[in-house]
Amino acid sequence: MTLGFRIQRRTVTVDADIANRFANLPVANVSDSMSRLTAAGSRLRPFHEAGQTMAGPALTVKVRPGDNLMLHKALDMAEAGDVIVVDAGGDLTNSIMGEIMVYIAQERNVAGIVIDGAIRDADEIRRCGLPVFAAGVTHRGPYKDGPGEINTAIAIDGMVIRPGDLILGDGDGVLCVPMEEAEAVLAATEAKQAAEQKDIAAIRAGTIDRSWVDETLTARGCEFTD
């Protein structure tokens, strides 16, 4: 085994039906249902049209900062519905991907791309219709020499992502749900979403109960003065 320069095959992925059910749930609610402990960092921002969401199994890629050889190979390996997640070390010196690679991803019916690094051709990527998240933009292009890894565990700002884990994305950012926990997290998120819809209905009806605010302040020993 060659550490740092290897390509592996996924043996298991999150269930496709479960992934599809997550697609219409806010990432923020999923995050709340995971105790707010998991995040890919606020630097990963959407570079696509507002309103697009992303949900699918991770095809993981680890590259040397500024080099995209392994991302090219991952595009050739990608299956329909995959989310390609690239650990590029967060470096913004050279871009990892531009419009040509996005077009290839679309032809492969990829569900989205996450780059912990920079992209270029940002204006065209915004128009292309594919969810793309990245840490920044630079016009400087990538190298294509390697090394790198495909389908090994990676981490972005402490969020561990294994091949086949569920990757979600919307306007609030990117989140990984471990595949073995996806069903339980889905149930908790659907319950939270239903509760929020009841709260929104109560707000619009003028019947929302806000007593918890003063109760919490009192319990915390807050002093009220006139």
* pLDDT score for 2: 78
Q: Please report, for the chain, how many H helices and E strands are present, in that order.
A: 7, 12
* pLDDT score for 138: 98
Domain span holding position 37: 6-188
The verdict on residue 208 lying in a domain is: no
How far is Cα 111 from Cα 23, in angstroms, rounded to an integer? 11
pLDDT at 41 over 90: no
* pLDDT score for 3: 82
The verdict on residue 223 lying in a domain is: no
The verdict on residue 200 lying in a domain is: no
Residue 49 labeled ligand binder: no
Residue 34 labeled ligand binder: no
The verdict on residue 98 lying in a domain is: yes
Residue 121 labeled ligand binder: yes
The verdict on residue 22 lying in a domain is: yes
Backbone angles phi, psi at 192, to 5 degrees: -65, -40
Residues 28, 134: contact at Cβ < 8 Å?
no
Q: What is the CATH number of the domain that holds 85?
A: 3.50.30.40
* pLDDT score for 226: 84
* pLDDT score for 60: 98
Domains identified in the chain, total number:
1
The verdict on residue 150 lying in a domain is: yes
The verdict on residue 143 lying in a domain is: yes
Residue 98 labeled ligand binder: yes
pLDDT at 1 over 70: no
User: How would residue 134 be classed by pLDDT, with cut points 50, 70 and 90?
Assistant: very high
Mean of per-residue pLDDT scores for the chain: 96
pLDDT at 109 over 70: yes
Residues 220, 214: contact at Cβ < 8 Å?
no
The verdict on residue 203 lying in a domain is: no
Residues 147, 64: contact at Cβ < 8 Å?
yes
Residue 101 labeled ligand binder: yes
